């Protein structure tokens, strides 16, 4: 199997997890690493709303959750910084379900220096907000992702996962 | 026309209402308190986005009581709303040119930013500007099958209204129960 095919397998696996866990609304600002997932979502039956800024996605997700939907916000970790107040004073305050699925930039092999500060801060920002998060760095970790998404909807809370670049062989 | 006059008119219509943080939510609560009201207690700027999420997820009309200051915080929302354009969404922007809940500090609107022009430029096809209650009433009754933005030119001013004595989780739970009950009614009616 080529690395490119392996990448597509990972993307497909993640979208299958979304479908199995009942995700029915995805809001997103794209990231290079998430391109494959976004393409597959576009071909799926999951409702997909591109947003101009990640915080907008938190608001749309809250409205959808108020009707019983299971929303997911797909973004780069840099977008977390754009969401902080709404996550705390909307989603968290009203105890609404939301899953934050983020590509995690700024690591060891990162070529763009601007990705480093927020990449390092993002997990601690979530800690400060009281939002549990997990790191996903290999395909076998995806079981943890599935369990975490389920718990966000079962407990009506915000949960988060950081997808590490090494998850995709072509980008590591 | 002041904000509470607009809110009173909107509350006469059947549907879900999202009320912006601060005095808009408190004024709606005092005019009439219903489970179909979602009172924002935080997250300034998110009213139009919450309304969009609601309108995309269920079929009943959704009215959003937003403000010029709050909308300026989330202008990208106009572009997303224009693209998604759910026909059951009505965005009512109380355009009073000030941050009313914090002491009437001027917004950029006071310096000439044109909210209605921004909505049109974002691609919203139906943008109605109203300056009195009669025009507002006419605009609200015209809403039926298309996503609409109403920009209500309004005098600044807050009504003397109490604090909302509901917890956030109470607001959510009764709102969700209401939505679910209405879905069942619509389902039973074969709609």
Kindly report, residue by residue over A43-62, the tens digit of the pLDDT. Answer: 999 999 999 999 999 999 99
Question: Number of residue pairs across A and B with CB atoms under 8 Å?
Answer: 113
CB contact under 8 A, B57 and A67: yes
Using a CB-CB distance cutoff of 8 angstroms, which residues of chain B are in contact with residue A29? none
Please give the average per-residue pLDDT across B31-59, as a whole number.
98
- With CA atoms as reference, the chain B residue closest to A97 would be B172
Q: Which residue's structure tokens are 């139009």? A: B48
- Determine the distance in angstroms separating the CA of A13 from the nearest CA of chain B, rounded to an integer: 26
Q: pLDDT-derived band of residue B140, with 50, 70 and 90 as boundaries?
A: very high
- Determine the distance in angstroms separating the CA of A22 from the nearest CA of chain B, rounded to an integer: 15
Asked if A93 reaches chain B (Cβ–Cβ under 8 Å), the answer is yes
Q: Which residue's structure tokens are 């076998």? A: A140
- Answer yes or no: is pLDDT of B190 > 80: no
> Which tens digit of pLDDT belongs to each residue from A62-108?
999 999 999 999 999 999 999 999 999 999 999 999 999 999 999 98
Q: pLDDT-derived band of residue B148, with 50, 70 and 90 as boundaries?
A: very high
pLDDT at B164: 98
Asked if A18 reaches chain B (Cβ–Cβ under 8 Å), the answer is no
Supply φ then ψ for residue B162, to 5 degrees. Answer: -75, 170
Distance between alpha carbon B23 and the CA centroid of its chain, in Å?
A: 13
Among A56, A62, A65, the residue with its CB nearest the CB of B74 is A56
Q: Which of B15, B19, B38, B46 to mutate to test the interface with A (most CBs of A within 10 A)?
A: B46
Judged by average pLDDT, the poorest of A23-37, B70-84, B135-149 is B135-149
Judged by average pLDDT, the poorest of A98-112, A115-129, A156-170, B135-149 is B135-149
Chain B interface residues (partner A, CB cutoff 8 A): 18, 38, 40-58, 74, 76-77, 79-80, 83-84, 168-169, 171-172, 175-176, 179-180, 183
- With CA atoms as reference, the chain B residue closest to A61 would be B53
Asked if A62 reaches chain B (Cβ–Cβ under 8 Å), the answer is yes
Using a CB-CB distance cutoff of 8 angstroms, which residues of chain A are in contact with residue B56? 25, 47, 49, 60, 63-64
- Answer yes or no: is pLDDT of A127 > 80: yes
Question: How does the average pLDDT of chain B come out, rounded?
Answer: 95
Distance between alpha carbon B139 and the CA centroid of its chain, in Å?
A: 14
A35 with A80: CB under 8 angstroms? no
- Answer yes or no: is pLDDT of B180 > 80: yes
Sheet with B127-130, edge to edge strand ranges? B37-39, B16-19, B62-67, B89-95, B148-153, B127-130
DSSP string, chain B: --HHHHHHHHHTSSSEEEE-TTHHHHHHHHH---TTEEE--S-TT-HHHHHHHHHHHSSS-EEEEEEHHHHHTTTHHHHHHHHH--TTEEEEEEE-SEEGGGT-EE-GGGGT--HHHHHHHHT-S-EEEE-SHHHHHHHHHH-SSS-EEEEEE--------PPP-S-HHHHHHHHHHHHHHHHHHHHHTT-
- With CA atoms as reference, the chain B residue closest to A86 would be B43
ipTM higher than the 0.90 cut: yes
CB contact under 8 A, B171 and A52: no
Judged by average pLDDT, the poorest of A33-42, A83-92, A135-144, B182-191 is B182-191
Which DSSP symbol is given to A48? E
Torsion of CA A98, A69, A44, A26, to 10 degrees: -30
pLDDT at B144: 67
- With CA atoms as reference, the chain A residue closest to B78 would be A52
Helix (H, G, I), strand (E, B) or coil at A26: strand
């Amino acid at each position: 199997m080529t690395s490119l095919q392996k990448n597509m397998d990972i993307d497909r696996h993640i979208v299958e997890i979304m479908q199995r866990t009942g995700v029915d609304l995805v809001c997103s600002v794209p990231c290079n690493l998430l391109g494959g997932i976004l393409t597959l979502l576009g071909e799926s039956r999951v409702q997909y709303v591109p947003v101009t800024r990640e915080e907008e996605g938190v608001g749309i997700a809250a409205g959808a959750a108020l009707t019983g939907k299971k929303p997911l916000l797909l973004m780069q970790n840099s977008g977390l910084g754009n969401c902080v107040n709404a996550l705390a004073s909307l989603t968290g305050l009203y105890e609404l379900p939301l899953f934050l699925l983020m590509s995690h930039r700024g690591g060891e092999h990162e070529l763009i220096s601007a990705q480093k500060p927020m990449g390092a801060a993002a997990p601690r920002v979530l800690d400060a907000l009281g939002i549990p998060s997990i790191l996903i760095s290999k395909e076998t970790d995806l079981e943890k992702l599935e369990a975490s998404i389920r718990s966000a909807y079962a407990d009506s809370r915000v949960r988060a996962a950081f997808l590490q670049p090494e998850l995709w062989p072509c980008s590591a | 026309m002041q904000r509470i006059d607009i809110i009173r008119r909107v509350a006469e219509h059947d549907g879900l209402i999202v009320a912006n943080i601060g005095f808009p939510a408190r004024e709606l609560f005092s005019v009439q308190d219903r489970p179909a009201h979602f009172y924002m207690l935080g997250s300034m700027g998110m009213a139009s986005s919450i309304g969009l999420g609601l309108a995309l997820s269920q079929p009943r009309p959704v009215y959003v009581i937003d403000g010029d200051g709050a909308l300026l915080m989330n202008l990208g929302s106009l572009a997303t709303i224009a693209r998604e354009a759910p026909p059951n969404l009505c965005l009512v922007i109380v355009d009073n040119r000030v941050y009313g809940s914090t002491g009437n500090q001027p917004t950029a609107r006071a310096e000439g930013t044109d909210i209605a022009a921004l909505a049109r430029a974002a691609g919203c096809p139906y943008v109605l500007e109203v300056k009195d209650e009669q025009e507002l009433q006419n605009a609200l009754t015209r809403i039926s099958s298309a996503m609409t933005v109403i920009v209500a030119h309004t005098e600044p001013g807050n009504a003397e209204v109490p604090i909302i004595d509901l917890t956030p989780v109470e607001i959510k739970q009764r709102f969700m129960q209401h939505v679910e009950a209405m879905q069942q009614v619509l389902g039973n009616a074969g709609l």
